[in-house]
């Protein structure tokens, strides 16, 4: 995966705000949003009342007031820990939002009237369709499209990358973002959003969590937790008359402790934090998810549709092979190819030098006095003229042939065969000549990006199909697809073909992800379940997608899918751990409640806990402290490893299912050993 921006897990400011927020969130109107923790709060209120009125429900016993107070204190700590976990997740988002807000302070705009007159106003007064002029060193006041001019724009305030981006009218690089800085020349920009609706405003709102809605998966899990809570409440309510019938008087605070320990409080306390952390994790990879659902859906992606150029390949053709023709040899061809490319600053020219020096093992220096001829559309060739009169040229096959024939040279018989073979493979044949003699062909091809073969293999291992879309002919497309390791391809692909491919996959029940940056990609981005638009792309593409990659790196979609899967795995793993916890708590509390009257229940006291009171309080204390201990895991996420779903399920059940049983057994026993002397001193 690409490297994420490294941030501190928790800063002093986040700690303070989270601690204060933990108390503020005790408000019942807020706690009702989390039914599991709301049940804990009700239990806290009831036990708190029992501290002052111990006989309120007919309970009797020595030191019952003190026992109720200890239970109430542990329940309060449990609530604060759960609220603190959510506060930490929110705090990280608010810290990011704070840095983004700095770009909006006191921003001015130079608005142009119809006659071209300039007026400086506050950026907050700009409206959609207004035209502004932004000069070097000035901030772009709001999102817009370049109408006139060409300039470098520093987008580091948003992307974190220092390299400026060239912006100009037309094409896929006409879109500009409010809060970025023009570093050279000037731009005339048409504003495309109203105040408060810009991309930067949306980013701030999203990372703050202000507009975060629960995702379908989160809602489903919440429903499961509520159902489990209701079931345990019914069981515990039924337990009271059974205990009375058996001659056991159970204090109400003990029943509340049992309820809190058995309902899934661990995952209930961490669920919101996991969801917020998922969006935060994507943001740290410089991807803005326009909804929590988008991150979640990434974890369910079955099919990925990717453009070839710029995504799978570099987009610039690079030298791949030197093919001599006639009576020339490879070393001779390499030498003259290097000489002709020494002053060629194009990507193709640089790649010829790189490949030639690697194959020959020599570093070629420029010859003093040689003159460089740049490529032109008219001649369709470039090259150099040496001081001794030798003219070296490289260019299109027909242009070089005409040039050589005009000098009285002949055409090698195998030239046409080699040129046609390179073209058949989808490459560009670049013919090289020295004077009137043709030396050979340089095979230029669109090169596969490093590491993609391994990444596609990793996706295939978890059942995700990759489809490459390209405008190339079928033969070229097949060659690139085979080299890259994608599962399928669509050759001579038009925008409507992408939509057709997405719909075909969705008709089979597949979840489809796609990346794009142009206006013609917008319909397909909107149709896909996960659409990632490039920040350098058009406004239409960004509005159609549900994620925006600030780095404009199309391969980032591979990382986003893994982040989405990590979110789902984290949620599932911690849910498994939480429910498994209940088994250990059951063996701690139930035997303790009935051992005095039913000695046979002692067989279930496999942890050999000291007394009923210590057993109940130990389980309750463990239930509270496990929440903050799991905060780092909830925030960082369970490490994702590409593997089949069934293998992943087995692995997580082994680690978090078995671990969820073993850890509480050890934890509760250790707590019991620690508090038993204290409880004995208090006569509890």
Which positions are catalytic?
Answer: 307
β-bridge mates for residue 455, sequence order: none
- In terms of Cβ atoms closer than 10 Å to its own Cβ (0-12, 13-18, 19+), residue 30 is middle
Residues 402 and 399: their CA atoms lie apart, in Å, by 5
Q: What is the spatial order of strands in the sheet that 465-469 belongs to?
A: 287-289, 547-549, 530-534, 512-516, 303-307, 465-469, 488-490
Residues 238 and 232: their CA atoms lie apart, in Å, by 10
Is 559 annotated to bind ligand? no
Q: Locate tokens 């075909």: which residue?
A: 504
Q: What angle do CA 550, 552, 554 make, to 5 degrees?
A: 125
Is 521 annotated to bind ligand? yes
CA 684 to chain centre: 52
Is 414 annotated to bind ligand? no
What six digits make up the tokens of 255?
């029943």
Rounded (10°) angle between helices 265-284 and 199-208? 150
Residues 308 and 178: their CA atoms lie apart, in Å, by 30
Is 446 annotated to bind ligand? no
Characterize 488-504 residue by residue with b for buried, 16 or more Cβ atoms within 10 angstroms of its Cβ, and e for exposed.
ebbbebebeebbebbee
For residues 543 and 177, the answer to whether their CB atoms sit within 8 Å is no
Secondary structure (DSSP) of 80-147 = HHHHHHHHHHHHHHHHHHHHHHGGGTT-EEEEE-TT--EEEEEGGG--TT-EEEEETTPBP-S-EEEE
Is 388 annotated to bind ligand? no
Give φ, ψ of 430 to 5 degrees.
-115, 115
What six digits make up the tokens of 252?
């109400």
What six digits make up the tokens of 371?
């003159």
Binding-site positions for ATP: 344, 348, 394
The binding site comprises 344, 348, 394, 517, 521
Q: Annotated binding residues for Mg(2+), as ranges?
A: 517, 521
């Amino acid at each position: 995966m690409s490297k994420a921006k490294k941030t501190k897990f928790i800063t002093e400011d986040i700690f303070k705000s989270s601690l204060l927020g933990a108390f503020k969130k005790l408000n019942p109107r807020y706690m009702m949003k989390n039914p599991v923790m709301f049940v804990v709060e009700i239990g806290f209120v009831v036990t708190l009342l029992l501290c002052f009125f111990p006989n309120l429900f007919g309970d009797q016993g020595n030191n019952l007031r003190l026992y109720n107070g200890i239970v109430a204190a542990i329940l309060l700590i449990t609530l604060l820990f759960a609220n603190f976990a959510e506060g930490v997740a929110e705090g990280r988002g608010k810290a990011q939002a704070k840095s983004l807000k700095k770009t909006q302070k006191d921003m001015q705009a130079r608005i142009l009237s119809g006659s071209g007159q300039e007026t400086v106003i506050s950026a907050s007064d700009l409206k959609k369709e207004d035209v502004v002029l932004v000069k070097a060193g000035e901030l772009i006041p709001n999102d817009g499209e370049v109408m006139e001019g060409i300039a470098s724009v520093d987008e580091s305030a948003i992307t974190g990358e220092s390299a400026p981006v060239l912006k100009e009218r037309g094409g896929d690089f006409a879109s500009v973002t409010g809060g970025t800085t023009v570093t050279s020349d000037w731009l005339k920009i048409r504003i495309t959003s109203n105040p408060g609706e810009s991309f930067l405003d949306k980013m701030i709102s999203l990372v703050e969590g202000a507009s975060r809605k629960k995702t379908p998966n989160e809602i489903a899990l919440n429903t499961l937790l509520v159902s489990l809570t209701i079931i345990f409440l019914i069981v515990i309510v039924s337990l009271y008359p059974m205990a009375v019938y058996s001659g056991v008087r159970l204090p109400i605070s003990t029943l509340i402790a049992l309820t809190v320990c058995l309902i899934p409080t661990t995952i209930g306390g961490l669920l919101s934090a996991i969801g917020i952390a998922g969006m935060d994790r994507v943001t740290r990879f410089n991807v803005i998810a326009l909804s929590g659902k988008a991150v979640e859906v990434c974890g369910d992606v079955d099919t990925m549709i990717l453009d070839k150029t710029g995504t799978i390949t570099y987009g610039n053709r690079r030298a791949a092979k030197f093919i001599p023709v006639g009576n020339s040899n490879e070393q001779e061809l390499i030498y003259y190819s290097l000489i002709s490319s020494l002053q060629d600053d194009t990507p193709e020219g640089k790649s010829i030098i790189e490949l030639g020096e690697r194959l020959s093992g020599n570093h070629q220096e420029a010859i003093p006095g040689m003159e460089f001829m740049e490529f032109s559309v008219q001649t369709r060739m470039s090259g150099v003229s040496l001081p001794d009169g030798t003219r070296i040229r490289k260019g299109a096959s027909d242009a070089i042939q005409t040039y050589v024939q005009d000098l009285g040279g002949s055409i090698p018989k195998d030239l046409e065969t080699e040129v046609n073979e390179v073209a058949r493979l989808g490459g560009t044949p670049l013919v090289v000549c020295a004077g009137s003699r043709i030396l050979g062909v340089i095979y230029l091809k669109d090169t596969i990006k490093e590491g993609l073969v391994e990444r596609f293999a990793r996706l295939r291992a978890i059942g995700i199909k990759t489809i490459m879309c390209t405008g190339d002919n079928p033969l070229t497309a097949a060659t690139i697809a085979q080299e890259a390791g994608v599962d399928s391809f669509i050759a001579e692909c038009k925008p409507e073909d992408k939509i057709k491919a997405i719909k075909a996959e969705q008709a089979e029940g597949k979840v489809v992800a796609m990346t794009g940056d142009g206006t013609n990609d917008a319909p397909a981005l909107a149709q896909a379940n996960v659409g990632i638009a490039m920040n350098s792309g058009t406004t239409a593409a960004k509005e159609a997608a549900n994620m925006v990659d600030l780095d404009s790196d199309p391969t980032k979609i591979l990382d986003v899918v893994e982040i989405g899967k990590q979110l789902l795995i984290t949620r599932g793993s911690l849910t498994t751990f939480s429910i498994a916890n209940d088994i250990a708590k059951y063996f701690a509390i139930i035997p303790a409640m009935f051992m005095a009257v039913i000695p046979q229940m002692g067989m279930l006291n496999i942890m050999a806990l000291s007394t009923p009171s210590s057993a109940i309080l130990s389980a309750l204390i463990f239930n509270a402290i496990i929440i903050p201990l799991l905060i780092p895991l909830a925030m960082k996420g369970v490490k994702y490893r590409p593997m089949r779903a069934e293998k992943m399920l087995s692995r997580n059940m082994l680690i978090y299912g078995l671990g969820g049983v073993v850890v509480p057994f050890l934890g509760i026993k250790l707590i019991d050993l620690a508090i038993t002397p204290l409880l004995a001193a208090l006569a509890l």
